[in-house]
Chain A
Amino acid sequence: MSISPGITGPAALELRDVAKSFGAVVALKSASLTVQMNSIHALVGENGAGKSTLVKIIAGLYQRDAGDFLLRGESVNFKSTADSKASGIAVIYQEPTLFPDLSVTENIFMGRQPTNRFGRIDRKAMRAEVEDLFDRLAVRIDPDRPAEGLSIADQQIIEIAKAISLDARVLIMDEPTAALSGVEVDRLFAVARSLRDEGRALVFISHRFDEVFALCDMITVMRDGEYISTDSIESTTVAEIVHRMVGRDVTELFPKTIVPIGDVVLDVAGMTMPGQFHDINFTVRSGEIVGLAGLVGAGRSEVARAIFGIDGYERGSVTVDGQRVPPRNPVGAMGLGLALVPEDRRKQGLVVDSTVGRNTTMSIQRSLIKLGLLTSAAENAAARTWASRLEVKTNALDTVVGTLSGGNQQKVVLAKWLATNPRVLIIDEPTRGIDVGTKAEVHRLLSELAGQGLAILMISSELPEVLGMADRVLVMREGRITAEITRADATSETVMYAATHASETHS
C-alpha cells in the first residue's frame, strides 16, 4: 500500500527552522520536520545530530529559541509536557519512565483516572479499559502487577497503550527497538502499522535501516542540528541516506592496527547472576581488543560491573593471569590489574568538580602520599606524564574537569586508569557523546594500548566502532552470549542477527 501524503490538508505536525541552544552549546541550528497524518515518518541522524532535542521540544520538555511549530496547521507553544499531551502528542522513549511501585493500570491512567461524582477513582472501568487496550495490542501483561521488573519491551507497550487511551494523534517513538528482540520488534511494528491505518501520524527514530525501510513511508535526515533532506522511502536508498547522515567517508574513522596477540589474560567462566546474565564464558588475550556488542539492556554493562567486582554474581569465576579475581571487591580487582572505564563518565568515572590533576591521580593517590599529606604538586607531576601521553587538551592540570569537552574528559578517565598499569582494560561505550574528530583519537589510543600488550574488552552500541576496532566480537542478547564472531566474519548483519535472535536459530 502506498500513501501519498501532502494532499490531504494540513500536516499533522510541522516544525520549521527550529533552533535551540543550551548556554554556548548549540543543539539545533535549523531543524525542520513535516509529518502527514496516516504515515510513519522516519527521523534519522548520527548521535548528536539533534534528534533528541527536537523530540523534547515536540514533547514540551524544552522550549524552542526560534522557528515555527504547527500542529494541524495551527501554531502552538508548549510550556510543559501536559500542554503537548493535551494537544494529542505522545512520546515513547527508548527507556520509558514509569512509576515502579504502582500497578500497570495506574501507570497507564495516572493523572487522568476515570472518577465518579465524589472524585472516587473507578477502578473497574480503568481495569476494563486496560484489558481492552491489551487485547487490541494483542499483548499479555497482568494489569495488576507493579511496573517494577517489566522488560523494556513491555514498558514500551504500556507507553503505547497510554498513548492510545489518550487518543494521541501524533506518536513519537525515540529508538523504540534499540532494546527489543526480533519477536518484540515484529509486535511493535504490527501495532505501529495499525495505528497509522487509524489515521494517526507516527515519527520513528532509529539507527537500524532495515527497520526504517521496512516500516516507514517517509524519511527525514538531520546532521549537526540541521535539516538535510526529506524523501519518500521508495525514492531513496540506504547508501544515499547514510551518506547524507555522515557527510564524510565512514571508513577512515577507525585506524585499527593489527598487533601480535599473546596469551589469555582475562578468563571469565560460567558467570551467572539470575535476572541479569547467564553462563557467561569468554577470554581476552594480551594485545587483543574484544568487542562486546548487543542491544541496550542485553546485560553487557552488568557483566562488566560483575567482572570488576562492583556487583556480585552467583556462580562462575573470573581470573586474570590465572589468578582468581575476588567477587564483589573492586580494590582486589584493581590489585590484579583490572581497570574499568564506565559508561557514564560524568557520574561514575570522574569527579567533575575537581581538577584534571586530581582526577588523573585518584586511582594511585595512595602511592603519592608523603608524610600523610597529598600535595597538588605531587599530583600534578604524576598526572603530567599521562596527560601528555594521551594528549589531553587542557591549559593546565588545575582546570576543572567538568569544563572539558566529552572527548577530553574520556581521556582523563583513561589516564586515571592507565596510571595504575592495568593488564586488562574494560571500557564501556568509549566514544559515547564524543564528537567525530575526537572519536578517531580515542580509537587510535585503544589500538596503541593493545599494541603495548593490554587486553581490552570494549562494550559498544555503535556497530561501526565494534566492527572497526575489535579482533573478535561477542554478542549478547537477553543476558546471554549468543555469538562469537571473528573479525573476518563480523559484519553488521551477522552481529545484528545475533543481537536480536535467540541463539538456537543462529548457526
Chain B
Amino acid sequence: MSTLTAKPTPNVVLHGLGVFLRARETSILLALLLVIAVTTIKNPNFLFSSDGFRDLLLTPSILILVAVGQAIVIVTRSVDLSVGSTLGLTAYLTGRLFLDIPGIPIILVVLAGIVFGALLGVVNGALVAFAKVPALVITLGTLYAYRGLNVLWAGSDRINASDMPKNFLALGTTEYFSIPLLTIIALIVLIAAGWYMRNTRGGREFYAIGSEPAAAELYGLKVTKRILVAFVACGALTGLAGVLYAARYGTINSQAGSGLELDAVAAAVIGGVAIFGGSGTVWGAAIGAVLLLTINRALPILGVQDFWQRAVVGALIIGAIVLDRLLALRQTRKLLESRDDSNE
C-alpha cells in the first residue's frame, strides 16, 4: 500500500489518460475533430470566421438537449420516438402563450414548456412502465398522436417572429464571450445530466435496468419508477428544446421538429449508447449530435453531392454500430480467454 500512496500523482494522470484513450467517446470526438480540421483546410471560414465558429456551436445545441434525453431513455433499454412531436407541441405552446397572454414573463413560458414536455413524457413512461408494452410501439403511437394534436391545435396557423417578444427571440442569438447562449444552456444540461448518470444511485440504476432487467428485479430496484423518470426527463429536456427552438427560428407551424426523433436516436447510437441499453454516456450522445450536424454542414463545403450526404450519415450510423459490436466481441473474447487461462 505504501508504494501506492508514495507517489500517487503520476499514476492518477497515467490512469486518467488510459481511461480517456480507451473510452468509446474518444473515437467519436476524434472523428469530429477530423471533420472540422479537413473542412477548415478546404475553407478556413468554416472554423475561423466569427459566423463559422458560431454556427459550429449553435447548430447542434437544440439537438444536444434532445439527444441527452434520448440517451437516458435508451440506457434503460427503451427508446422515445415521440421527441420530434413533443418538440413541435412545446414549440407551438411557446408561441401560443406569447400570443394569448400578452406580457407573460419569459421565465414562465420556459417553465411551461418544460412542464408540458414532462407531461407528454409521463404519458409515454406510464404506458411503457405500467402497461409493459415495448417503448418502440408506444412511442411510435405517441409520435403520431402528438403530431395529430399539434395539427388539430395549430391547423394551418403559423406563429411568426413578430408574434413573440424581442427579448425572447434574443435568447436564440445572444452570445457571451462569443459563445451562443443556447450552447451554454446545452452545456449546463449536459454537465448536470452527465454528473447525475455517473455519480448518483438513480443514474446508476438506469444503467442497471438497461443492462439486465431480470437482475434489476431481483436486486429490488424500483424499475417501474426509474423507467417513468427516464421518460419524464427526456420529455422535459425536449420541452426545453421546444422553447429554445421557438426562440431560435421564430417561425413555428404544425410540422416543427418532425423527423427530429431519428436525429436524436442516431446521435445517441453514433455516440456509443448501446441500443439494447446498459452502456454509453450522455456525453457520447452529445458529441454524436455535434458530429451528425457538423457533417451535414461540412459535406457541401467539401463538394459532396446532396444525394451522397444522406448516405454518409447512414454509413456513419452503421459504422458506429459495427464498431460497437466489434469492440464488444473483442471484450467478451478477451474476458473468456482470460478465464480459460486461469483454468488451465
Contact = CB atoms under 8 A, between A and B. Distances in A.
Of B207, B210, B219, B278, most buried by chain A (CB within 10 Å of CB) is B219
A98 B340 contact: no
A100 B200 contact: no
A149 B335 CA distance: 5
Nearest to B214: A97
Contacts of A98: 212, 215
Interface stretch (A36-44, A110-118, A460-468): A110-118
Report whether over half of chain B's contact residues are helix, strand or loop; otherwise say mixed.
Answer: helix
A58 B338 CA distance: 36
B337 interface: yes
Contacts of B158: none
A503 B332 CA distance: 27
A149 B339 contact: yes
Given A81-B220, A274-B337, A275-B337, A99 B200 contact: no
A112 B222 CA distance: 12
Contacts of B215: 97-99
Interface in A203-247: none
Contact of A101 (B201, B207, B336, B338): B207
Looking at A98, A111, A115, A151, the one whose CB has the most chain B CB atoms below 10 A away is A111
Contacts of A479: 340
A119 interface: yes
Contact of A106 (B204, B274, B340): B204
A81 B220 CA distance: 5
Interface residues of A, number: 33
B218 interface: yes
B331 interface: yes
Given A81-B217, A82-B220, A149-B332, A97 B340 contact: no
B331 A121 contact: no
Given A120-B199, A274-B336, A275-B333, A97 B212 contact: yes
Interface in B193-222: 199-201, 204-205, 207-208, 210-212, 214-221
B219 A148 contact: no
B343 interface: yes
B214 A102 contact: no
B220 A85 contact: yes
B279 interface: yes
Interface in B319-342: 331-333, 335-340
A377 B284 CA distance: 57
Contacts of A471: none
A80 B338 CA distance: 37
B201 A100 contact: no
A478 interface: yes
A121 B212 contact: no
Interface residues of B, number: 31
A190 to B, nearest CB: 19
Interface in A23-57: none
A478 B205 CA distance: 33
Nearest to A181: B343
A149 B336 contact: yes
B219 A110 contact: yes
A115 B335 contact: no
B279 A121 contact: no
B212 A100 contact: yes
B335 A148 contact: yes
Nearest to B202: A119
A170 B148 CA distance: 56
A115 B202 CA distance: 11
Contacts of A85: 220
A123 B70 CA distance: 27
A413 to B, nearest CB: 26
Contact of B212 (A99, A106, A113, A275): A99
Nearest to B201: A113
A98 B274 CA distance: 18
B337 to A, nearest CB: 6
A99 B201 contact: no
Given A81-B218, A111-B221, A121-B204, A100 B340 contact: no
Contact of B201 (A81, A115, A146, A148): A115
15 contacts: A81-B218, A97-B214, A99-B212, A100-B278, A101-B210, A101-B278, A110-B204, A110-B208, A111-B221, A119-B201, A120-B200, A274-B333, A275-B339, A278-B340, A478-B343
Given A110-B205, A111-B201, 6 more contacts: A97-B215, A97-B218, A99-B208, A101-B279, A102-B208, A112-B201
